Structure 1
Amino acid sequence: MENVLIVSNTNTTMGIISDLLRTETFNRIITTQNGAQARRYINELDFDLIIIDTPLPDEMGDDLSMTAAEKSSAGIILIIDQQNVLEIGAEVEDYGVFALPKPISSEFFYQSVKLLTASRKRVMNLENENQKLQKKIEEIRIVDRAKLILIQVLKMTEPQAQRYIEKQSMDLRQTRLTTAENILRTYEH
């Protein structure tokens, strides 16, 4: 993990959380004491983990957690007073925000960070795999369009068009995608 944002209205809490996180591999820990500054950081930087200790001086913090969830892929922990944790936790859980009750033990906090870190890594891996599949689908679409052009313009059959694209790719030592894009540039008007 790289960047962490800690939002808390007390320096004591920020210090405790920062100390607990130093045992992990976080390169940069940024702290702020209000929601407005936290929103600016969220808009400007990418965070791997955002920890919000409620209440904040300018807002409760639950809206900030939901905004952070919408604008970033960071794992988000919202630390809430015991009496509000069920109500606010139910409100923010649909956004993927992990609500923890105050007071929180260092062991429970550490395990929560580990769980959130593991979950985030899994989601990031799934997103990377999804992007690869999207690229592959786009490549297939472009190659199919090129085959259709060859069928329409040069009156090839589908197997002939497929063979032509594959042979051109091998002969020119380029990808099928590049060959298909060249065909489309040549024959599409």
Structure 2
Amino acid sequence: MKPLVLAASARKDQDSLLRELFPVSRYEPCVLVSSAASARQLLASRNFSLVVIFTPLADEYGIRTAAQIASSFDMDVLLFVPADKFDQAAYTVRETSVFVLSLPVNRQTAWQAVSVVEKARTQIRQIQRQLIRSRDKYKELQVVSRCKLLLMENYRWSEEKAHRYIEKTAMDHSTSKVMVARILLDKMQARA
């Protein structure tokens, strides 16, 4: 599935830049709105890969909206602002995933910004997946450790013997240690 981009601009002269940055060969056709309110409404109902905002918008300037979208929807935002507003915009969105570019912008710089945003999002997703795997592994270790503790307590086994018992039972039944630990915990808790 191709990425979908939401573009917010009160001016219609950004169409050619958007077509160059997000060609239909790689992206779904951009969804274009003119106001922050319309952008928020669409974000609530559809999944977008990226939001592009050209300030000022029809109903507000757009800098704070960019920051709100980035934090509320966990989404990258590419914000185009006039050169005289660049410092203010960069300062306002400094702690968010909003990338600020000043207008006028050359096509090469804009394309590089899109590339950086996409790369950053890919790396963030990889790190999030690693964190989820690590958290799951930690939870499994907690279950096995808890089971070992109860085996040591209930049967007066050493930690080594409890560990070997869980490991051998897992091998004998072609299952994981955490599955064995859960079953043993259920049995020990049922007896208690």
Q: TM-score, normalised by structure 2?
A: 0.90
Equivalent in the alignment of 1:175? 176
Equivalent in the alignment of 1:138? 139
| Superposed CA offset, 1:137-167 (max 9, x none) | 1111111111111112222211111111111
User: One-letter code of the match for 1:41?
Assistant: L
Cα distance change of structure 1 residues 120 and 24 upon mapping to structure 2, 3 Å threshold: farther
Give runs of aligned pairs for residues 1-189 of structure 1, distance below 5 A.
2-22=3-23, 25-27=26-28, 29-188=30-189
Q: What CA RMSD, in Å, does the superposition of the two structures yield over aligned residues?
A: 1.8
**124-133 vs 71-80, which moves further:** 71-80
Separation (CA, whole Å) in 2 of partners of 1:105 and 1:94: 26
Separation (CA, whole Å) in 1 of partners of 2:43 and 2:85: 25
**Count of aligned positions:** 189
Q: TM-score, normalised by structure 1?
A: 0.91
SS in 1 for 2:93: helix
Q: Give, in angstroms, the shift of residue 106 of structure 1.
A: 1.2
Gaps in structure 1 of 5+ consecutive residues: none
**90-99 vs 19-28, which moves further:** 19-28
SS in 1 for 2:100: strand
Cα distance change of structure 1 residues 146 and 153 upon mapping to structure 2, 3 Å threshold: same
Contact 1:54-1:78 at 8 Å conserved across structures: yes
Separation (CA, whole Å) in 1 of partners of 2:35 and 2:4: 18
